Amino acid sequence: MNSMPKPPIDSQPADPDRAALRQRLRELRPQWLGSEDGASAQEALARRLGELLQQLEPEVLGLYWPLEGEFNAGAAFLPAFVPVGVQLALPYAFREGRRMEYRRWDGHADAGVKDECGIPSSDGARVTPDVVLLPCVGFNRAGYRLGYGGGYFDRWLAAHPGVTSVGLAWSCCEAEFAAQDHDQAPTLILTEREVLCP
């Protein structure tokens, strides 16, 4: 999981305030990760996530391919905190209809498959995870996540209301923003410091 493609560009008009906030937070992440606080954050968040997954006991765990300083749940920490027998899956995004599905993944490095947004994915069978991990560009105290603006995860969550969704974020990316009508709050947001439940 070391290929870092650019996130997909949203083709719909974006809220300029949100676009500026996304840009600011994306610029902040690598600086913060290089700091003393950021250096210990990956291990701390992995530990918290491992404890949470032991409680949730997923049968099919939806991961994501990390971009530009996002928490890498598929790195060396994966074998340590994913219970034996759990199926893994990666999202596959389709530009037409701006829809997304999850495909079974063997957990190994880049299989050479990319979705229609250019993000590494899998060519495995389509599955529906019972627990999904969501990347967060930012998050707020109300428990909403800020993504890249494409709405793929929001649409998928709206169509799968029974799924437990965990937003993974760095504490430095907490921000103030208003939720929009289409925004789907994750079940909880997990940072290296705390758990937020909306």
* 47 assigned to a ligand binding site: no
Q: What is the DSSP letter of 72?
A: -
* 70 assigned to a ligand binding site: yes
Q: In angstroms, rounded to a whole number, what is the distance separating the alpha carbons of residues 17 and 82? A: 37
* 101 assigned to a ligand binding site: no
The whole-angstrom distance between residue 65's C-alpha and the CA centroid of its chain comes to 8
Spatial contact of 118 and 126, defined as CB atoms under 8 Å apart:
no
Count of CA atoms in the C-beta half-sphere (13 A) of 146: 26
* 21 assigned to a ligand binding site: yes
For residue 157, the SS3 value is helix
To 5 degrees, how large is the angle CA 87–CA 89–CA 94? 155
Q: In angstroms, rounded to a whole number, what is the distance separating the alpha carbons of residues 40 and 158? A: 34
* 73 assigned to a ligand binding site: no
* 45 assigned to a ligand binding site: no
The answer for residues whose C-beta is within 8 angstroms of residue 10's C-beta and 6 or more apart is: 148, 149, 150, 151
Return binding residues for ATP.
18-22
Return binding residues.
18-22, 70
Return binding residues for substrate.
70
